[in-house]
């Protein structure tokens, strides 16, 4: 048995490592939203192409998260966590040498694969080392650093883009990546293997990756390519075949039976996917509105968008702690309800809406996100037995990334309808406003469906498993 002091040291090292990578990835994602107009102008790219700087990253992250998370369970989570952080840093630096928007999109796609290695392992390690009664608090701190990255992203990203150019965002992110990799290598000792003696499902992985990419890419190209509907249909069929394969295999990359037999697990994941499908493009759309319609520079726009994630960062640990003593279903559902109302209000903004009105809505959106995110993650991880922590962690990340990919696919589709192939910096204000209204109305409807899923999950605290603290034997996981 490892002493409690040693266990606490492992817990602290794991939390610091996860907070570091959470901050890094979130900062990069939110800062890029402010830099997209500048990228679009430099490369003279149409709006539909520019949106793929975000969408390609999300697509590759979503497609590779489950397979890489499963490989990490088999071969070692720390090993994949460290490798993913180093590769993320490398691809971030490579992005700065892009000679075209297409090259940048390719590097972002590669960056997404590395991010999948981070997403698929970090939360699983955190869940493995913390006892159930402290897990919500730890996840709350992890989510808080994610939102801290989102907080600094718009303000610092806008400042860097305006003063030093958009590539400076990538340089800063690469430095953060090196710091995070050192933290993992130097302080996070031990290895966690949840399925050391099991085999890897190559067939299911292939069906999943190709099917998901085909479905989401085909959906986003429905208005611009005649073959898009066929591609999306093939993707849907491949995903159905994937689900059938997973039911038949002894070592699936996604345990479909968990969705069938565990109501809390299934509806918590569904609520997460819908939440991200309805909210991820918020900063992207408001950044376009503030810069292209209201005429603000990137720095001013970033300062306004700063309001939302500040509340998210401040309140997430409190919401996570609250979900340790109160049913996560109730906390998350209140957050989802608040988010739904705010999205409906955003659908009503006009070209001349006072900026103070927008600044009043943003804190309530931040509150809604904080109340939903860490309690919902706590609900997912607390609804399964310890041997499924790796699967549950990868599933949480997959729902988030699939939801974000769906959100960007919806936005890309709506942009192609209202803006077409016109570059963002030359699109008419009427076209941009039509894009905003259609997007936010669509997301309001999605968010309401997510609220229903959140309410339907049932109780999870009564299903918590009183296992011994896994951190007492890190090498055994």
Measured distance CA(201)–CA(208) in Å, rounded? 11
pLDDT of residue 472: 36
Measured distance CA(271)–CA(463) in Å, rounded? 19
Higher pLDDT, 383 or 85: 85
458: helix, coil or strand?
coil
Nearest Cα neighbor of 443 from 365, 334, 379 is 365
Residue 476 DSSP one-character state: G
pLDDT of residue 74: 83
Measured distance CA(342)–CA(89) in Å, rounded? 36
Say yes or no to pLDDT of 224 above 80. Answer: no
pLDDT of residue 159: 83
Average pLDDT over residues 63-75: 85
Say yes or no to pLDDT of 84 above 50. Answer: yes
Average pLDDT over residues 412-439: 82
Structure tokens at 320: 């996570």
- Percent of the chain having pLDDT more than 90? 21
Count helices and strands in the chain by DSSP H and E runs: 18, 0
Say yes or no to pLDDT of 446 above 90. Answer: yes
Average pLDDT over residues 78-86: 89
Among 29-38, 100-109, 259-268, which stretch is predicted with the lowest mean pLDDT? 29-38
Inter-axis angle of helices 263-279 and 355-382, to 10 degrees?
A: 160
Average pLDDT over residues 427-444: 90
pLDDT of residue 445: 94
| Tens of pLDDT, residues 145-166 | 876 776 677 778 888 888 888 8
Enumerate the domain spans of the chain: 4-185+253-466, 207-247
Residue that is written with structure tokens 């994630």 in the block: 309
Average pLDDT over residues 365-389: 81
pLDDT of residue 299: 77
Among 29-43, 156-170, 178-192, which stretch is predicted with the lowest mean pLDDT? 178-192
Higher pLDDT, 364 or 38: 364
Residue that is written with structure tokens 């830099």 in the block: 35
Task: Name the pLDDT band for 385 (thresholds 50, 70, 90).
Answer: confident
Contact 276, 339 (CB under 8 A): no
Q: Which CATH number fits domain 4-185+253-466: 1.20.1250.20, 3.40.50.720, 3.30.565.10, 3.50.50.60?
A: 1.20.1250.20
193: left (phi over 0), alpha (psi -120 to 50) or beta: beta
Average pLDDT over residues 465-475: 39
Check: pTM over 0.75? Answer yes or no. no
Say yes or no to pLDDT of 476 above 50. Answer: no
pLDDT of residue 475: 40
pLDDT of residue 409: 81
pLDDT of residue 451: 92
Task: Name the pLDDT band for 466 (thresholds 50, 70, 90).
Answer: very low
Average pLDDT over residues 63-67: 86
Task: Name the pLDDT band for 296 (thresholds 50, 70, 90).
Answer: confident
- Percent of the chain having pLDDT more than 70? 88
pLDDT of residue 113: 92
Say yes or no to pLDDT of 471 above 50. Answer: no
76: left (phi over 0), alpha (psi -120 to 50) or beta: left
pLDDT of residue 465: 44
pLDDT of residue 158: 80
Say yes or no to pLDDT of 372 above 50. Answer: yes
Contact 82, 181 (CB under 8 A): yes
Task: Name the pLDDT band for 473 (thresholds 50, 70, 90).
Answer: very low
Alpha helices in 165-306 (DSSP H): 167-187, 202-220, 228-248, 256-261, 263-279, 282-288, 298-305
Backbone angles phi, psi at 125, to 5 degrees: -65, -45
pLDDT of residue 300: 84
Average pLDDT, the chain: 82
Nearest Cα neighbor of 447 from 288, 256, 282, 232 is 282
């Amino acid at each position: 048995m490892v002493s409690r002091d040693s266990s606490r040291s492992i817990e602290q090292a794991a939390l610091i490592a996860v907070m570091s990578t959470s901050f890094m990835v979130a900062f990069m994602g939110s800062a890029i939203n402010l830099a997209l107009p500048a990228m679009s102008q430099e490369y003279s790219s149409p709006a539909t192409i520019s949106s793929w700087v975000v969408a390609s990253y999300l697509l590759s992250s979503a497609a590779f998260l489950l397979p890489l998370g499963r490989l990490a369970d088999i071969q070692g989570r720390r090993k994949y966590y460290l490798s993913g952080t180093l590769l993320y840093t490398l691809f971030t630096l490579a992005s700065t040498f892009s000679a075209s928007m297409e090259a940048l999109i390719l590097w972002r796609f590669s960056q997404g694969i590395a991010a999948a290695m981070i997403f698929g392992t970090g939360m699983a390690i955190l869940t493995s080392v913390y006892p159930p009664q402290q897990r919500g608090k730890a996840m709350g701190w992890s989510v808080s650093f994610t939102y801290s990255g989102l907080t600094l992203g718009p303000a610092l990203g806008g400042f860097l883009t305006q003063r030093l150019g958009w590539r400076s965002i990538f340089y800063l992110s690469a430095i953060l990546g090196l710091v995070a990799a050192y933290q993992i290598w130097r302080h996070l000792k031990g290895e966690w293997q949840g399925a050391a003696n099991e085999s890897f499902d190559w067939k299911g992985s292939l069906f999943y990756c190709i099917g998901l990419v085909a479905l989401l890419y085909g959906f986003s190209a429905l208005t611009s390519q005649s073959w898009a509907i066929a591609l999306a249909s093939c993707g849907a069929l491949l995903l159905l075949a994937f689900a059938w394969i997973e039911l038949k295999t002894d070592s699936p990359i996604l345990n479909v039976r968990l969705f069938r037999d565990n109501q809390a697990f299934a509806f918590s994941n569904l609520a997460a996917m819908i939440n991200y499908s309805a909210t991820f493009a918020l900063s992207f759309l408001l950044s376009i509105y503030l810069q292209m319609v209201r005429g603000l520079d990137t720095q001013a726009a970033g300062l306004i968008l700063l309001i939302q994630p500040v509340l998210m960062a401040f309140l997430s640990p409190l919401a996570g702690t609250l979900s340790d003593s109160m049913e996560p279903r109730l906390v998350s559902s209140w957050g989802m309800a608040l988010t739904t109302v705010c999205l409906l209000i955003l659908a009503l903004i006009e070209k001349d809406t006072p900026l103070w009105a927008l600044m009043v809505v943003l804190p309530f959106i931040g509150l809604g996100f904080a109340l939903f995110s860490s309690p919902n993650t706590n609900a997912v991880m607390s609804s399964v037995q310890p041997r499924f922590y790796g699967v549950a962690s990868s599933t949480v990340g997959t729902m988030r990334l699939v939801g974000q990919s769906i959100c960007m696919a919806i936005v890309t589709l709506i942009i192609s309808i209202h803006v077409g192939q016109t570059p963002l910096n030359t699109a008419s204000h009427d076209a941009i406003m039509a894009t905003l209204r259609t997007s936010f109305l669509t997301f309001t409807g999605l968010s309401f469906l997510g609220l229903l899923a959140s309410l339907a999950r049932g109780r999870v605290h009564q299903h918590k498993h009183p296992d011994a603290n896994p951190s007492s034997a890190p090498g055994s996981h």
